[in-house]
Structure 1
Amino acid sequence: MKFAAAFISLCCVGQCSAQSLNPNGAYPKFGVGPTGITATIEKGLKVTVAAVQLSEPAGQTDLKPGDVLLSVNGQSLSENDPRVTLGTAIGVVEAGDGLLTFQVQRGSDERNVTLRLPVVGAYSASWPENCKKSNAIVEQTVRYAVKAQQPDGSYQFGAGRPVRDDVRGCLTSLFLLSVGDDELIPYVRRHVRPLAERAETRRNAGGHVNWQLGYQGILLSEYYLRTGDAEVLPGLQELCNWCVDNQAAGGWSHGAPVGPGYVQSGLMNHAGLPVMITLIIAQECGIKVDTAAYARAIRLIYRMAGHGCVAYGDHRSELWWSNTNGRNAMTACGFSLLDHIPCFREASEHLATLVTDSYYQPEFGHTGGGFNVIWRGMASMHVPEHRRANVQRQNQELAWYYDLCRQPGGGFSMPATPPNNPRYTGLEWATGAIGLTYAAPRRGLRITGAPRTKFSRQAPPPDFDWGTPEDRTFLSTADAEGFRESESPKEIYHLLLKTRKSEATLQFCATHLRHYSPLVRTWAARLLGERNRPEALAILANAAMDKDPRVRRAAFDGVSGYDNWR
């Protein structure tokens, strides 16, 4: 037990990444992994039991709603982010004796309460790839999802309303398809055939239709490429026709028509990127897509790759966040489908690597970090071999989060985005999404790296011109010559952009003008410009004459004060 406590302390303080909770506010209900405890975090970081599932490990103890959890296995829960401590403790004891001991306050009394979790082993160094624990979690989640499916193909998770043709239902069926088990095909078919039939008459989506069309199109296409079931093709064709009808300025908004006063050109790439992926993969199924609309969609997004994060709308690549709530990851998965074209393969690998290096903002998002979580694991499959250590670092840093999301009996429940945004919480959002993260290494989907199937057709490449040959350099995942990494991505972020800017030396900034990431290069250049000292400006002047165009571009960003939304 002493070893477990020491290991938890080490992980929480030095290795695990999370976003900040507000110690003066309250954090909504969340499941404490497979313990059967539902908790809130009240003012002062007081982890308070909200409910106990009687049939689960916590239900075999004396825990009651209202109890305050002061510590777990000797580690305080009133410092930093208690979720990290809880999630890390679960992983440690599952690899040890299974015993979680809470120090509990009930009124004026304090007591210890111990519950026993099943011992399932530790994650492997390369998890979820080549990992027995991950495989066991996949199989448990499969059983949970299959049991949740209703006769009409929808999924009933807990006490919520069934989900079927929206993002949540499509993610769940994509998860079942991703596992690679042919015995699961009938469950997916039960969902997709009625969906395709409704799509033939455009009765498959309502409200913010583009959100639904994108995920539906990916599901129908992946299902066809796996099975060759031509019954879904007429619906997929009409779905793609509807997508083309809704396009504006190369992209999509929440729905149709586009509101031009919304952001830039009225576009909202969170909704549009899955539609773009649909147009790519549907052509692999033999679907006819308007070539001009297809080229406009690819061009809008491709121009951002290599220059920062994929933007919210039709504006410059974003630079002041390390991630963009899934947009980089979506694009990496989409462009991977065009990996026979070198520039798209490179763009996919570049964006996927940026995603893995944003592990320190795992829940970041404009309206909540759900899509950050949904797409992160799938994008990891497209990181090039020489950067696979970045994926391992990400997954080791975030193991606490995934263990916290796991629920007793199977499934996942996504906790609220800090400080208290519950928009994408619950079993119906997370079961398919995080299941896809664990199953991604099986490469059961084209978007997670599966090879083309016997039903695949070679789609024509998108027909557009963009940039010069030197623009390809910006898609590289290699640092510029002379770069030597000494700090983690998290430390670089704080030294160049956030809390520790005053500590960044001129030499540190100069070195990071040569980083592979356009974000890091621009952060370093802007900081040199802000210093406005002769030595700093001399570094920028020298960089402006560098042989690497990425370094030259960073230098001019520093001089001009380049900003992404203006």
Structure 2
Amino acid sequence: MKHIIQLTALLLLSGGSTLAKDPALPSEKLDFTQGDTLPRQISHDWTLGPIGARGWCQVSKYGAEGTTKDSRQILITKVDSKGTAAEWLQKGDVIIGVDETPFQSDARIAFAKAISSAEEKGVFSLLRHRDGQVTPISIPLPTRPPFANTAPFDCPKSAQILKEGCDHLASRGLGSPAIDTHLNALALLATGDRAYKDELEQHVKKTLARPLSADMPLACWHFAFANLFLTEYYLITGDRYVLPEIRRLSGHLVAGQGPLGTWGHTFAEPTTDRLRGYGAVNAVGIPVAISLVLARECGQDFAGLDECIEQAATFFRRHVGIGAIPYGDGPPNLEYGHDDNGKNSAAAVFFSLLNDAPATAFYTRTALASYGLDREQGHTGNFFNMLWSVPAVALAGPTASGAWMNEFGWYHDLARDANYRFPYQGYPSQTPGNAYAKWDCPGAYLLHFAAPLKKLRILGRGVTCQPKLTTKEITETLEAGKINYRYASPEFLRESLSSWSPIVRNLSAKELRRRKIGLDSPASLTSSNPLDRIAALKSSKNFDQCQPLLADPDLRVRMTAISSLAGKDKKRAVAAVFEHLAKHSEKDPVFTQAIGNTFFPLGISEKAVGQLLNAPKDRETTIKAINILLNDEDALVSSRIAMGLKFLPDEELIPLLPLVYHRAANPPAGNVMFANKLQTSCAGVLVHLRLEEGLETSANLLADESWGRNNRLPQAAALLIQYKGYAKKGLKPVKDTIAGMTSPGDVKWKKLLQDSVDIIEACETPKDKLPTIESITKDFKNR
């Protein structure tokens, strides 16, 4: 049951989004100047920059993370009695404007953007509502210049924040080694200032004194960031006494890599070489890979290290040009924006260390296009989205970073409190009191301001692989992050079908379809430019002319061909794609994921899958294609195919039976969270044919305690019971499982298993034997 404990720990660490849903948003706009009060279920409040107060803004529903775009007031929720604002603000006050002007737009962002000019003047002018009276107030602030147009490079404000922030951080002390404090230590290290030498040495000693255990919850997270700190520390100081721990941490990380080159919350299971729990978590996998590259630069050289790094690079390289790196093993994201919780940004850093120019360029550009709500979002929280942002953007140079800070520097100003603590902000609708709220977060921001110093490898030290973006490309990239598709002109949307950005291409086509506007494009299907071929595929109405592009040399084009053909005639497109698979035996995981996404998306019914599998007339080709997809490395793909197998004629199932049996017992390495449906569907086929192997797999599924057990047990029990008396000989693993169920949470499932055993044991024992895959195959061939 260890995996369940580890999962619970993960959910607590990452904000508990599965254990506790984010609050329901008030349906009506609140007006605190008219006596409205804060609702019981609320989103979190915000640090209000350096004034020494916190405030709440109303959140509107927008996507998964919400937005404050409709807010026009800030309700003061806390005032630091020793802070700058204590004389002018108190809890319950309402800020209704800045510079004597009521808020006419998002109150949170307008307030944040006003901080910079207020610090320039040394006074923050606000409109305060208290006891029915509106009063202009002026809160004094320490003066500082605005961000330079090259920030954080050649930027006095960035340098000042870095110096003062690190001084405050060092004076407070780094505390116990943990993910957040390792980042704080990295910020001190990134300054190159020997004034922090003693504090850093103490942090190293504390880290070495309490070595992390490979059995701890969230081991990959803790090992990755400890390794990041120690490797960067060694590369700057040359202190060799940290090398044994770097080697130990790196050894566990290499051994704990999953079969696809990824990592999960914990290390892979040694006996199966599979990731535990629900599989890959790329938000930690990329920092792990970065730390291993740095360990190699520290002189570590042991069996498997080079191969491990290359395998990780192969996996994360598969998303280049296609979208945002997803949460796990699945296809690239095209809906959340240009960066999915900082994974593209972290990948830019990773590939810059590997001197991989194409991957670095793409991931850096997507990082540059990610700001505003795109950067504020994040699965369970946006801490890592913020952490990796500027280190990636800075790879494109001062012009690019300055332009990005011009768009999003306000978030840094809002997060920076009077004591440079940068308390965790989170996304707008995030629940108050999430786990990150207690993290000590200044390092995540101070590292941004240390980027120009290039003292750390993750901040560009010695990196020569830096994208050279023109001013026009920088502008285009930033514009890609702010397009309002709902109001864009049809001409603009059509032109965007050949954008550099896969996100822009996808959302532009989606908006044109929503408006029922033709996707007409002057681009040619035979153009030498793959982006033009993509645009032509999206706009062409000719099925026959589009079909050959399923074999295009560019993966992006091949993927677009799948969706383009499906949009014209889904059943005919299935046949064309199956013909391509059978002919070319294409096994590119992103291509097969595109097939799954297009034809067999999440939520599709079993009957709908069956109808598509039965649609092509060429059945021999179809069975070959089904075999390829059922054998896919991604359970998200193979499980959808398995759902429809029971709708195939028995004679078509027989050639598939060896693989069906294998998949019932051995799910693929990728997206293991979807393996339940794959295994139970395959077992269902074997049960339908009344095969001996169906009895075996059903019993084993009941005894399987891996991830998703509670969803699997009822289905497996229903399958096993169908064998009635035949199932008696398969009850031993089930009874062993019952005997091992001792926790209070097992009561329900223990009863289910015992009831299944009782039903089976009450049946008459048959005298004949069940057929096997071998016997039914032999009989079929002899017909």
Distance (whole Å) between structure 1 residues aligned to residue 533 and residue 242 of structure 2 = 50
Partner of residue 28 from structure 1, selected from 41, 44, 66: 44
Contact 1:48 1:69 in 2 (8 A): yes
Distance (whole Å) between structure 2 residues aligned to residue 306 and residue 240 of structure 1 = 30
Give the match's secondary structure for 2:375: coil
1:112 Cα deviation from its structure 2 partner: 3.1
Matched, 1:47 2:47: no
Matched, 1:70 2:109: no
1:447 Cα deviation from its structure 2 partner: 0.9
Structure richer in helix, relative to its length: 2
Distance (whole Å) between structure 2 residues aligned to residue 262 and residue 318 of structure 1 = 22
Q: Deviations over 1:255-291 (max 9, x none)?
A: 135686966xx11101211111111111011112513
1:559 Cα deviation from its structure 2 partner: 0.8
Matched, 1:559 2:564: yes
Distance (whole Å) between structure 2 residues aligned to residue 478 and residue 35 of structure 1 = 38
The equivalent residue for 2:292 is: 279
Give the match's secondary structure for 2:117: helix
Distance (whole Å) between structure 1 residues aligned to residue 455 and residue 509 of structure 2 = 42
Q: Deviations over 1:13-72 (max 9, x none)?
A: xxxxxxxx975674423221111112223587542222222322112x242222222222
Give the match's secondary structure for 1:394: helix
Partner of residue 199 from structure 2, selected from 187, 198, 211: 187
Give the match's secondary structure for 1:232: helix
Structure 1 unaligned blocks of 5 or more: 1-20, 156-163, 454-474
1:103 Cα deviation from its structure 2 partner: 2.4
Shift of the 137–434 alpha-carbon distance from structure 1 to 2, 3 Å rule, reads same
Contact 2:280 2:328 in 1 (8 A): yes
Partner of residue 489 from structure 1, selected from 480, 488, 499: 480
Q: Deviations over 1:410-446 (max 9, x none)?
A: 3322323112344465574421101111111211110
Shift of the 476–231 alpha-carbon distance from structure 1 to 2, 3 Å rule, reads closer
Matched, 1:106 2:118: no
Matched, 1:309 2:324: yes
Counterpart residue type for residue 56 of structure 2: T
Partner of residue 387 from structure 2, selected from 353, 374, 377: 374
Give the match's secondary structure for 1:509: helix
Distance (whole Å) between structure 2 residues aligned to residue 85 and residue 325 of structure 1 = 24
Counterpart residue type for residue 141 of structure 1: G
Distance (whole Å) between structure 2 residues aligned to residue 429 and residue 328 of structure 1 = 24
Distance (whole Å) between structure 2 residues aligned to residue 408 and residue 483 of structure 1 = 33
The equivalent residue for 1:548 is: 529
The equivalent residue for 1:402 is: 412
The equivalent residue for 1:419 is: 429
Q: Which is greater in Rg?
A: 2
The equivalent residue for 2:757 is: none
Distance (whole Å) between structure 2 residues aligned to residue 189 and residue 517 of structure 1 = 44
1:336 Cα deviation from its structure 2 partner: 1.2
Distance (whole Å) between structure 1 residues aligned to residue 361 and residue 228 of structure 2 = 20
Distance (whole Å) between structure 1 residues aligned to residue 322 and residue 336 of structure 2 = 13
Counterpart residue type for residue 434 of structure 1: Y
The equivalent residue for 1:460 is: none
Q: Deviations over 1:351-407 (max 9, x none)?
A: 111111112322011212111111101111212x5xx54432220111221111111
Distance (whole Å) between structure 1 residues aligned to residue 565 and residue 324 of structure 2 = 19
1:327 Cα deviation from its structure 2 partner: 0.1
The equivalent residue for 2:455 is: 444
Counterpart residue type for residue 313 of structure 1: G
Contact 2:217 2:266 in 1 (8 A): yes
Distance (whole Å) between structure 2 residues aligned to residue 333 and residue 407 of structure 1 = 28
Distance (whole Å) between structure 2 residues aligned to residue 443 and residue 27 of structure 1 = 38
Partner of residue 245 from structure 2, selected from 228, 232, 235: 235
**Kindly, what percent of the aligned residue pairs are identical?**
26
1:109 Cα deviation from its structure 2 partner: 3.3
Counterpart residue type for residue 479 of structure 2: S
Give the match's secondary structure for 2:44: strand
Contact 1:41 1:47 in 2 (8 A): yes
The equivalent residue for 1:364 is: 377
Counterpart residue type for residue 246 of structure 1: G
Contact 2:393 2:400 in 1 (8 A): no
Distance (whole Å) between structure 1 residues aligned to residue 105 and residue 473 of structure 2 = 37
1:212 Cα deviation from its structure 2 partner: 1.1
Partner of residue 208 from structure 2, selected from 179, 193, 196: 196
Name the TM-score, length of structure 1 as normaliser.
0.78
Matched, 1:509 2:520: no
1:193 Cα deviation from its structure 2 partner: 3.3
Distance (whole Å) between structure 1 residues aligned to residue 340 and residue 478 of structure 2 = 22
The equivalent residue for 1:137 is: 161
Shift of the 205–378 alpha-carbon distance from structure 1 to 2, 3 Å rule, reads farther
1:219 Cα deviation from its structure 2 partner: 0.8
Contact 1:166 1:212 in 2 (8 A): yes
The equivalent residue for 1:327 is: 343
Matches within 5 A, 1:194-273: 194-199=206-211, 202-203=212-213, 206-249=216-259, 250-257=261-268, 266-273=279-286
Shift of the 75–424 alpha-carbon distance from structure 1 to 2, 3 Å rule, reads farther
Counterpart residue type for residue 270 of structure 1: A
Distance (whole Å) between structure 2 residues aligned to residue 176 and residue 123 of structure 1 = 21
Q: Using CA pairs under 8 Å that are at least 6 residues apart, name the structure with larger relative contact order, 1 or 2.
A: 1
Counterpart residue type for residue 379 of structure 1: A
Distance (whole Å) between structure 2 residues aligned to residue 483 and residue 402 of structure 1 = 21
Q: Deviations over 1:220-243 (max 9, x none)?
A: 111110011110010010101111
Counterpart residue type for residue 84 of structure 1: I
The equivalent residue for 1:296 is: 311
Contact 1:353 1:477 in 2 (8 A): no
Shift of the 526–104 alpha-carbon distance from structure 1 to 2, 3 Å rule, reads closer
Shift of the 84–172 alpha-carbon distance from structure 1 to 2, 3 Å rule, reads same
Shift of the 477–559 alpha-carbon distance from structure 1 to 2, 3 Å rule, reads farther
Contact 1:414 1:424 in 2 (8 A): no
Counterpart residue type for residue 330 of structure 1: A
Distance (whole Å) between structure 1 residues aligned to residue 299 and residue 136 of structure 2 = 62
Distance (whole Å) between structure 2 residues aligned to residue 125 and residue 57 of structure 1 = 28
Contact 1:476 1:516 in 2 (8 A): no
Contact 2:214 2:252 in 1 (8 A): no
My pick for the range that moved more, 294-303 or 517-526, is: 517-526
Contact 2:84 2:140 in 1 (8 A): yes
1:450 Cα deviation from its structure 2 partner: 0.7
Q: Deviations over 1:313-345 (max 9, x none)?
A: 112222122220100011111111112xxxx13
The equivalent residue for 2:181 is: 169
Distance (whole Å) between structure 2 residues aligned to residue 56 and residue 364 of structure 1 = 30
Contact 2:227 2:250 in 1 (8 A): yes
My pick for the range that moved more, 184-193 or 164-173, is: 184-193
Shift of the 277–336 alpha-carbon distance from structure 1 to 2, 3 Å rule, reads same
Distance (whole Å) between structure 1 residues aligned to residue 96 and residue 189 of structure 2 = 42
Contact 1:128 1:438 in 2 (8 A): yes
Contact 1:197 1:232 in 2 (8 A): no
Contact 1:512 1:520 in 2 (8 A): yes
1:81 Cα deviation from its structure 2 partner: 2.7
Q: For this pair of structures, how many residues does the alignment match?
A: 488
Shift of the 445–369 alpha-carbon distance from structure 1 to 2, 3 Å rule, reads same
Contact 2:74 2:96 in 1 (8 A): yes
Matched, 1:350 2:362: yes
